[in-house]
Amino acid sequence: MTESSIRYAAPGRINLIGEHTDYNLGFALPIALPQRTVVTFTPDRGDVITVGSDRAEGSVRIPLDTSPGDVLGWAGYVAGVIWALRQAGHRVPGGAMSITSDVEMGSGLSSSAALECAALGAIASAADVRIDRIEQARLAQRAENDYVGAPTGLLDQLASLFAEPATALLIDFRDLTVAPVVFDPDAHGVALLLIDSRARHRHAGGDYAARRASCERAAADLGASSLREVQDRGPSAVAAVTDPVDARRARHVLTENNRVLDLVAALGNTDFAAAGRIFTASHASMRDDFEITTEHIDLIADTAVRAGALGARMTGGGFGGCVIALVPTDWAEVVGRAVHRAVSDAGFEPPVITRTRAAAGAGPCG
């Protein structure tokens, strides 16, 4: 085990399409963001990791034998990684860890997975432990599910770990395969706008868990262990679901899986007009069938399209966060101004609008 400092970074992510499909063993198509969380870890021979963050005062001492419930708040994600690594039989050294990040928290950009993957990479590197990326994703997910208590799927961790520049990732959650898909709209006169509503959400709340439970009930009604098993039956299969709300939730998942594959085909043809229409259809499904958007988010997406975007959709788990829009480059400023004006006129906090791109995944940094 080295005693020198290790620096490891992991990015936030945008999910281009495929919302709430991961835990239903479906498809998704995320990219990594340029924004990253950087962990600097200096190991020692102690039995505690002391963690500090540029976003919090003071530090948190995490015993290496920590258990779920011991550490709450932002440090719980680091504690969860320590716990998951040790549960899997990996050696974890004590030491001091400092965290810096420009991944916005609560915006649906997966700041939690960025922290988990960066902390895991730093600890594993310091302990000279080699863990393949699929297993890293599983360990980070276990930290979030079983230690923090947020019932998320694997999308965020896989996106953070496997991402490449100018590339989206087609993830099949049934087979746990990750395939690269060229995604470089800038090269074709199209901008990807990231519109942060400034409305924050929390995955550990009940809404996310309720959607997951609804999907599980729908699958059970259809005699399946997951909704992926009935994908080939088409959206009409949901007619056999007993509860009408569960049926709508299932319909979103089945149609969203189709939209992921349709978007991959559109990108393969560099057809960004078709890609935009798929974005907008996905947003309608999240709004009407899965019911995870908000009036605020809907206003942003609808305004962007009316102002000239090829398409727009919420990205992330829902109930706040960000909207993404594909916009002809020459129209980007017009769309941005229209969204700012509409949101301000409605009495909401002004959004933060940036152009973004697909960036590299997790790894050591100098």
Catalytic residues, by residue number, are 156
Of the candidates 198, 194, 200, which has an alpha carbon nearest to the alpha carbon of residue 309? 194
CA distances from 32 to 62, 160, 269 (A): 29, 6, 22
Instruction: Report yes or no: 276 and 326 within 8 Å, Cβ to Cβ.
Output: yes
Amino acid identity at 231: Q
CB atoms closer than 10 angstroms to residue 223: 9
